[in-house]
Amino acid sequence: MHPAFQNASSAVPITFATKSTWDTVSATLPAAARRFAAANAFTAKPGQYLALPAEDGSLAHVVFGIEDTSSEWRDLFRPGQLPGLLPAGTYSFTNQPHDTRLAALAFALGSYRFNRYRKNDVPGARLVPPDGLDMVELTRMADAAALARDLINTPANDMGPDELAQAAQALAEKFGAAYSCIIGDDLLKQNFPLIHAVGMASTRAPRLIDITWGDASHPKVTLVGKGVCFDTGGLDLKPSSGMLIMKKDMGGAANVLALAQMIMDAKLKVRLRVLIPAVENSVAGNAFRPLDIFPSRKGVNVEIGNTDAEGRLVLADALALADEEKPDLLIDLGTLTGAARVALGPDLPPFYTNDETLAADVARHARTENDPLWRMPLWMPYDSWLDSKTANLNNAPGGAFAGSITCALFLKRFVESATSWLHVDIYGWTPSAKPARPEGGECQAARAIYKLLSERYG
């Protein structure tokens, strides 16, 4: 069970209230508690918290405000604020928030702290699990989120391609999965020229991480995660403001590993494969240049329109390899385009697929898991924008329009044989803290996709 949860015979009660229910809720409290709440101007607005004392001054009760059921929008992770508000101790819910399962998960997610380099006070509040919840499943999700967050939050000096490979290998060993890794110039020998091109300027060799797990007779599910451990932009150098959080550019790989951990821990009936092209996009005399042309694993020659559009290049070779196996479901995740952030912001990653059933299932699980995703179109009239005058296609066509869509269309060129394909353009980062989502690296899309896979292959 997750450390945020604790079985106990006694606990301080937490009561949820909304502005419209506060009068009713307060009527159930002792008179002294009602007077204390009034004196503190407690009105149960969302996120408002009040600790009610007993006669001896000890903590007797907690009341916490959440959105009204009639509100246009309700943050189902609102209870994730509680670990940062409550003093150390054991607590329990006395009534139901809007979604008790998500509230309990939010409590665990809100307890996360990144402590590798500086001691941060880990919340001492513990929650007695509400009745009827699958705590194994909630712990599985919270642990996976912590894995993704830890990997993303680790700076690039300690999370380069080799360290990312070590993390993947440790995960593979934990679940008895097969692990292999193609490193450096061996990428050229084994026909992964785009991965090599992006990573060759770094002193830390590029590599392709490959994990396989599960019964070979089960449906093939392949996950591909962008593992750019730091992105300078290459010779199309990013400004300092754009480079500041580029340690997160391996967020696709981190979330793929989090998703793989959940799949393997739950023993889903799939033959899982995980592919992570792990590179550092650096500046050096041998860095790849604008208008260079490189072959790809698929045999398509790619002209470099912009060296800062490197993520789609490394994913292209990995997707081509994945596609050769004709998987039943091929999923890629990557922190790919600023255009996705302009369109949908940091909290709402777009996803792309031509499989209507898959699209509906993704959207449904994104809603039920409070793991937001929004479908965007693979708009084929824009496919011609990828044309090159000197090669088969250009990785970054000129112009400021539809950047996330053209990235998806670029990747689509490398997927032909998979039965279904899903592409998710995540951000992998929470810019400012929100309930259950501390500032920093974030697990995005993994929980929704895991629940989809659980439904299909559980």
**Residue type at 352 in one-letter notation:** Y
Q: Are 372 and 366 in contact (CB under 8 A)?
A: yes
The series of mean pLDDT values per 10 residues for the chain, 458 residues long, is 92 95 92 92 95 91 95 95 96 95 98 91 92 97 98 98 98 98 98 98 98 98 98 97 96 98 98 98 98 98 98 98 98 97 97 98 98 98 96 91 97 98 98 96 98 97
pLDDT at residue 57 in the model? 87
pLDDT at residue 110 in the model? 97
Q: Are 445 and 379 in contact (CB under 8 A)?
A: no
Q: Are 196 and 305 in contact (CB under 8 A)?
A: no
Measured CA angle at 129 (ends 128, 133), to 5 deg: 170
Q: Give bridge partners of residue 437 from the DSSP assignment.
A: 434
Q: Can you say how many angstroms the Cα of residue 37 is from the centroid of all Cα atoms in its chain?
A: 39
pLDDT at residue 55 in the model? 85
Q: What is the pLDDT of residues 106-158, one digit of tens each?
A: 999 999 999 999 987 889 999 999 999 999 999 999 999 999 999 999 999 99
Q: How far apart are CA 17 and CA 95, in angstroms?
A: 9
Active site residues: 238, 312
Q: What is the pLDDT of residues 167-217, one digit of tens each?
A: 999 999 999 999 999 999 999 999 999 999 999 999 999 999 999 999 999
The structure tokens listed for 43 are 């009105």
Which three-class secondary structure state does DSSP give residue 151?
helix
Which three-class secondary structure state does DSSP give residue 333?
strand
Q: Is the pTM of this model over 0.95?
A: yes
The structure tokens listed for 13 are 């009660």
Residue range 12-133 forms a domain whose CATH class is alpha beta
- The residue extents of the domains of the chain are 12-133, 139-457
How close are the terminal C-alpha atoms of the chain, in Å? 21
pLDDT at residue 120 in the model? 77
Q: How far apart are CA 137 and CA 120, in angstroms?
A: 27
Domain covering 139-457, topology: Aminopeptidase (3.40.630)
